[in-house]
């Protein structure tokens, strides 16, 4: 069943899956700590709205998952029930505390602080603006992402399998795919059936549009518990301790402040929740010792390339524990847990 949303072009993607990379070297254990406790899922409670709104032939509910980007209070939802693209697109959201309203726009739910403004646009770092480009959004899964293999990335299928191993303690819970891009992994998480809700979240409007273009003719995903949300990774629109798993694939180096973003991720995770990320390294264990001092602190002005040690330090300084990693060339996948 197709969703009656704003029309968009249909693109065809016939590229084959990428071949597996050679065996990955492991600098620490791949599997998560078995002592992780599986997080519980809280059911949403019904909320009565004012009598004027109740006359409309729409269901109303309090959506605990989505929160105000300003005060982090849970949003009140007015619209059809259900957690899927069609239901969320047809719903309106409002903060009971600061009275700010949020609505779906261009196929996604805009939960940024500037949502609803007409002529206000903040300056963003060059790296952020690059991925808001329609061209970059279009080519991301049509050649751009495949080039990551040359830097040690094992390919989406293998990366997904690795992430799923880390996320086993969070199965059945809520997963947020931050900086999801065109939804390469969001779609895989949604189709896996391993999570009660999946949120594909990105700051780029065009990446979210591309995500919808990839899934609009796939009924299995359209009817799954998936939402498309625009938000800032440094101001995630979820209540503290409300999320079981956060994924950030090939993303950390694009964030203006990795430490701020990881602190936010720690805030929204439940106790025992799992954060899994992958990114490019500035230097790795295979980088010759004599060469390391010659590498600049930032390879380019657009990205934050960190070292293995810096990523671990940032995670631990933000309060995450049980840090573990897998490294291959300039690729790193890491996992950490909220105590």
Q: Residue 92, CB half-sphere, CA atoms under 13 Å: how many?
A: 10
CB atoms within 10 A of CB 291: 9
User: Which helix (H) or strand (E) segment is 303 a member of?
Assistant: none
Q: What are 94's strand-pairing partners?
A: 76, 101
In terms of pLDDT, which residue wins out, 112 or 143?
A: 112
Winning range, highest mean pLDDT, from 29-33, 50-54, 307-311? 307-311
Share of the chain above pLDDT 70, in %: 71
Angle, vertex CA 167, rays to CA 161 and CA 170, nearest 5: 145
CA separation for the pair 305, 279 (Å, rounded): 8
| pLDDT band with cut points at 50, 70 and 90 for residue 133 | confident
Amino acid 283: pLDDT: 64
Which residue carries 């279009």 as its tokens? 138
Residues 308 and 327: beta-carbon distance below 8 Å: yes
Which helix (H) or strand (E) covers residue 157, if one does? helix 156-166
Q: What pLDDT score was predicted for residue 110?
A: 95
- Mean pLDDT (the chain, rounded): 79
CB atoms within 10 A of CB 82: 15
How many whole angstroms separate alpha carbon 278 and alpha carbon 271?
Answer: 22
Give the model's pLDDT for residue 39: 38
pLDDT at 117: 81
Grade residue 19 by pLDDT with cuts at 50, 70 and 90: very low
**CA 189, chain centre distance (Å):** 11
Question: Which pTM value belongs to this model?
Answer: 0.77
Give the domain ranges of the chain.
120-338
Strand partners, 197: 174
Q: Which residues, in sequence order, are bridge partners of residue 163?
A: none
| CB proximity list for 275: less than 8 A, separation 6 or greater | 245, 246, 248, 262, 265, 266, 269, 315, 320, 335, 336, 337, 338
Q: What mean pLDDT is predicted for residues 28-37?
A: 40
CATH number of 120-338: 3.40.50.150
Q: Which residues neighbour 294 within 8 Å (Cβ) at sequence distance 6 or greater? A: none
**Can you tell me the mean pLDDT for 216-230?**
91
User: What is the tens place of the pLDDT at every residue in 63-117?
Assistant: 579 999 999 999 999 988 889 998 998 999 999 999 999 988 768 999 999 888 8
Tell me if 69 sits within 8 A of 232, measured CB to CB.
yes
In this structure, of 24-28, 151-155, 172-176, the range with the lowest mean pLDDT score is: 24-28
Per-residue pLDDT of 256-297, as tens digits, reads 999 999 999 999 999 999 999 999 998 655 555 544 555 554
Of the candidates 9, 24, 11, 34, which has an alpha carbon nearest to the alpha carbon of residue 329?
24
Lowest-pLDDT range of 82-86, 194-198, 248-252, 335-339 = 82-86
> What pLDDT shows up at residue 125?
63
Neighbours of 48 (CB within 10 A): 9
186-201 confidence digits (pLDDT tens):
999 999 999 999 999 9
Are 187 and 162 in contact, with CB atoms under 8 Å apart? no
Taking CA atoms, 29 is separated from 55, 169, 323, 325, 335, in Å, by: 57, 16, 10, 7, 10
- Determine the pLDDT at residue 24: 42
Vertex 219: Cα angle to 214 and 220 (nearest 5): 95
Residue 154: closest CA among 318, 278, 41, 254: 278
Q: DSSP 3-state assignment of 60? A: strand
Instruction: Let me know: does 67 contact 239? Beta carbons within 8 Å.
Output: yes
E strand spans, 9-113: 60-67, 74-78, 92-95, 101-105, 108-110
């Amino acid at each position: 069943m197709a969703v009656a949303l704003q029309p968009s072009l249909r693109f065809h993607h016939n590229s084959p899956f990428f071949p597996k990379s050679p065996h990955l070297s492991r600098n620490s254990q791949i599997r998560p700590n078995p002592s992780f406790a599986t997080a519980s899922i809280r059911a949403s409670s019904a909320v009565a709205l004012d009598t004027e709104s109740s006359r409309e032939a729409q269901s109303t509910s309090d959506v605990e998952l989505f929160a105000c980007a300003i005060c982090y209070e849970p949003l009140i939802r007015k619209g059809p029930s259900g957690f899927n693209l069609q239901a969320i697109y047809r719903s309106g959201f409002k903060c009971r505390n600061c009275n700010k309203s949020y609505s779906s726009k261009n196929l996604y739910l805009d939960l940024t602080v500037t949502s609803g403004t007409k002529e206000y646009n903040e300056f963003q770092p060059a790296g952020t603006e690059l991925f808001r480009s329609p061209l970059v959004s279009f080519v991301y899964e049509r050649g751009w992402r495949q080039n990551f293999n040359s830097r040690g990335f094992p390919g989406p299928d293998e990366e997904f399998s690795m992430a799923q191993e880390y996320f086993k303690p969070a199965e059945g819970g809520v997963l947020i795919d931050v900086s999801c891009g065109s939804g390469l992994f969001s779609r895989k998480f949604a189709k896996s059936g391993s999570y009660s809700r999946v949120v594909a979240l990105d700051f780029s409007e065009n990446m979210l549009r591309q995500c919808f273009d990839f899934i609009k003719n796939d009924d299995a995903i359209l009817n799954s518990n998936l939402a498309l949300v625009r938000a800032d990774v440094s101001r995630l629109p979820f209540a503290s301790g409300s999320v079981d798993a956060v994924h950030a694939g090939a993303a950390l180096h694009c964030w203006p402040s990795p430490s701020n973003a990881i602190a936010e991720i720690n805030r929204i995770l439940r106790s025992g929740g799992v954060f899994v990320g992958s990114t490019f390294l500035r230097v790795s264990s295979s980088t010759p010792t004599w060469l390391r001092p010659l590498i600049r602190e930032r390879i380019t002005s657009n990205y934050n390339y960190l070292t293995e040690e810096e990523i671990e330090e940032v995670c631990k300084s933000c309060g995450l524990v049980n840090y573990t990693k897998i490294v291959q060339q300039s690729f790193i996948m890491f996992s950490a847990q909220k105590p």
